[in-house]
């Protein structure tokens, strides 16, 4: 079966507005491969994936989905799906080897070719500057715990904008700084693998500063009509009960998952309760320099939201073993919790069916986040920049990949987006995660999020049923009947 032979389901409400951006999203380290080609130098994920025990099966992103060599085929797949936009990330160590100094012409030329191929197919390129692949040399100098890394990021942002800004009109500074800071420096399940909560908070602040400095650098280089955004993996935090202790547990985690990002970016301040909760871990007054918050709170054109599953918390009771997990379930569990100052908080399994990541399926959480932002940030355009699910997909004897669970997941979450929009949330687009099966960070190649199946031995691409389903939604601008 091909895309054009899928039966067309009858559309029903909700209908998405004309001009709504329909896309998919990927990340450079997860799909590009060519890790030592074209002048690219190692990132923290190259180092981390080569550290025994850090990534399942010792997998690395050396080849990944080989997108570096196969991008034209992948763009053709996007065109077959009818996508209007594609969100990709640039590899910092491909553009600026070592993280500072001269740009790499060969690295930039790759993104030239990718952007031109997208535009030839009338697909809007949406560029993310940082999706976790910090050049290793910068980590060796202290990484995100050092202010200098934020300054180097701004230089890199300016170089990318100078080269691509005539054709790329939509830019994102950072993807999910929560993961970079708290998983990379807090509990060490992501690169660079550090385990210090004070360092996690320092990394958080310097990532926020990098966003602000990067926004300024982009504005200085881009045409006035270009749009600049930030992508956050905000959490739908729920208290398991109504006791004061349970409600306080939810307050703490909401502060660390949501308000520690939203308040400095949109209000130029850190939440007082979060500063108080974490004061024993670092001296915030010494960390936050004069002018930092003004940089961080530069105006944005849109806010990107990544959502997968809700977060359920309760107060720990005497004798309880605290379940040390993150906002996407057991994927973020480690010897140490990623959450600074979360003593006394239990993370509970939310109800619902589960994906192959063991993440509960709950589309209401996406609705909660979008309508919260409607109320708290009026006038801020919103884009769902990642949403999707991993399932245990396989190619059947006829060569097809049937993934009804993913179709059901996408249907429910797109319905939540439409419901939020109908209730006043200014949602401008949806980017499905992900176009391709890829290197899934610490899970290696063991988890498949793509709507296109990748046989990693042959690099053969096979659109799954979910790809055909999504193509019909994109074509009609409406969800089919259940």
Give DSSP secondary structure letters for 447-458.
----SEEEETTT
Measured CA to CA, the distance from residue 482 to residue 158 in angstroms comes to 46
Output phi, psi for 385, to 5 deg. -95, -15
Helix (H) or strand (E) holding 239: strand 237-239
Nearest alpha-carbon partner for 328 in 365, 290, 370, 378: 365
Q: How far apart are CA 288 and CA 180, in angstroms?
A: 19
CA distance from start to end of the chain = 22
Question: CA triplet 373, 185, 325: central angle to 5 degrees?
Answer: 65
pLDDT of 325: 47
Give the pLDDT of residue 14.
73
Active-site choice (32, 139, 221, 386)? 386
Under DSSP, the state recorded for 400 is -
Record the tokens describing residue 99, joined without a space. Answer: 């993280």
DSSP helix/strand/coil, 469: helix
User: Minimal CA–CA distance to 25: which of 68, 114, 85?
Assistant: 85
| Rounded Cα gap, residues 59 and 30, in angstroms | 11
3-state secondary structure string across 218-238:
HHHHCCCCCEEEEEECCCCEE
Tens-level pLDDT at each residue, the chain (482 residues): 233 433 344 445 578 988 999 999 999 999 999 999 999 999 999 999 999 999 999 999 999 999 999 999 999 999 999 999 999 999 999 999 999 999 999 999 999 999 999 999 999 999 999 999 999 999 999 999 999 999 999 999 999 999 999 999 999 999 999 999 999 999 999 999 999 999 999 999 999 999 999 999 999 999 999 999 999 999 999 999 999 999 999 999 999 999 999 999 999 999 999 999 999 999 999 999 999 999 999 999 999 999 999 999 999 986 454 444 444 443 455 678 999 999 999 999 999 999 999 999 999 999 999 999 999 999 999 999 999 999 999 999 999 999 999 999 999 999 999 999 999 999 999 999 999 999 999 999 999 999 999 999 999 999 999 999 999 999 999 999 76
Q: What would you measure as the largest C-alpha separation in the chain, in angstroms?
A: 63
Residue 343 among the catalytic residues: no
386 is catalytic: yes
Burial 69-98 (b: 16+ CB within 10 A, else e): ebbeebbebbbbbbbbbbbbbbbbbbbbbb
Backbone angles phi, psi at 448, to 5 degrees: -115, 115
| Residue whose entry in the numeric block shows the structure tokens 């074209």 | 38
| Marked catalytic residue, from 176, 405, 440, 472 | 176
**Residue 366: what pLDDT?**
98
Rounded-to-integer distance, Cα 81 and Cα 48, Å: 35
Q: How far apart are CA 321 and CA 330, in angstroms?
A: 15
CA distance 392 to 396: 12
Whole-number Å distance between alpha carbons of 366 and 236: 7
What is the structure's pLDDT at 333? Answer: 53
Half-sphere exposure of 464 (CA within 13 A, CB side): 27
The Cα angle at residue 305 between residues 89 and 8, in degrees rounded to 5: 85
> How many whole angstroms separate alpha carbon 451 and alpha carbon 464?
6
């Amino acid at each position: 079966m091909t895309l054009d032979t899928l039966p067309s389901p009858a559309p029903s409400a909700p209908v998405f507005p004309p001009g709504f951006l329909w896309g998919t999203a990927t990340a450079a380290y997860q799909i590009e491969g060519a890790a030592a080609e074209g002048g690219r130098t190692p990132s923290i994920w190259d180092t981390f994936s080569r550290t025994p025990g850090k990534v399942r099966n010792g997998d690395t992103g050396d080849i990944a989905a080989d997108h570096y060599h196969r991008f034209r085929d992948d763009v053709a797949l996007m065109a077959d799906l009818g996508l209007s936009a594609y969100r990709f990330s640039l590899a910092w160590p491909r553009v600026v080897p070592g993280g500072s100094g001269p740009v790499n012409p060969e690295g930039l030329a790759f993104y030239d070719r990718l952007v031109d191929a997208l535009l030839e197919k009338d697909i809007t390129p949406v560029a993310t500057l940082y999706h976790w692949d910090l050049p290793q040399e910068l980590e060796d100098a202290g990484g995100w715990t050092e202010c200098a890394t934020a300054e180097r990021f701004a230089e890199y942002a300016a170089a990318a904008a100078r080269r691509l800004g005539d054709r790329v009109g939509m830019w994102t500074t950072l993807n999910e700084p929560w993961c970079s800071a708290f998983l990379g420096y807090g509990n060490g399940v992501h690169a660079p693998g550090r385990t210090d909560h004070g360092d996690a908070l320092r990394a958080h602040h310097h990532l926020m500063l990098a966003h602000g400095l990067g926004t300024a650098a982009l504005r200085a280089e881009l045409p006035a009509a270009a749009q600049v955004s930030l992508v956050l993996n905000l959490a739908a935090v729920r208290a398991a009960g109504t006791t004061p202790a349970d409600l306080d547990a939810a307050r703490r985690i909401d502060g660390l998952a949501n308000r520690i990002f939203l308040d400095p970016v949109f209000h130029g301040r850190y939440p007082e309760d979060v500063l108080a909760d974490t004061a024993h871990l670092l001296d915030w007054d010494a960390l936050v320099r004069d002018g930092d918050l003004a940089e961080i709170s530069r105006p944005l054109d849109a806010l990107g939201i990544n959502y997968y599953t809700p977060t359920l918390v309760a107060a720990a009771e005497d004798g309880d073993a605290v379940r040390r997990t993150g906002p996407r379930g057991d994927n973020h569990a480690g010897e140490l919790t990623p959450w600074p100052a979360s003593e006394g908080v239990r993370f509970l399994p939310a109800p619902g069916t589960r994906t192959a990541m063991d993440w509960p399926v709950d589309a209401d959480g996406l609705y909660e986040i979008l309508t919260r932002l409607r109320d708290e940030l009026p006038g801020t355009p919103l884009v769902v920049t990642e949403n999707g699910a991993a399932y245990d997909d396989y190619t059947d004897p006829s060569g097809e990949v049937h993934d009804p669970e993913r179709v059901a997941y996408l249907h429910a979450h797109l319905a939540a987006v439409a419901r939020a929009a109908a209730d006043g949330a200014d949602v401008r687009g949806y980017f499905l995660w992900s176009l391709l099966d890829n290197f899934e960070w610490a899970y290696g190649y063991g988890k498949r999020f793509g709507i296109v199946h990748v046989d990693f031995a042959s690099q053969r691409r096979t659109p799954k049923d979910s790809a055909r389903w999504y193509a019909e939604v994109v074509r009609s601008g409406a969800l089919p009947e259940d």
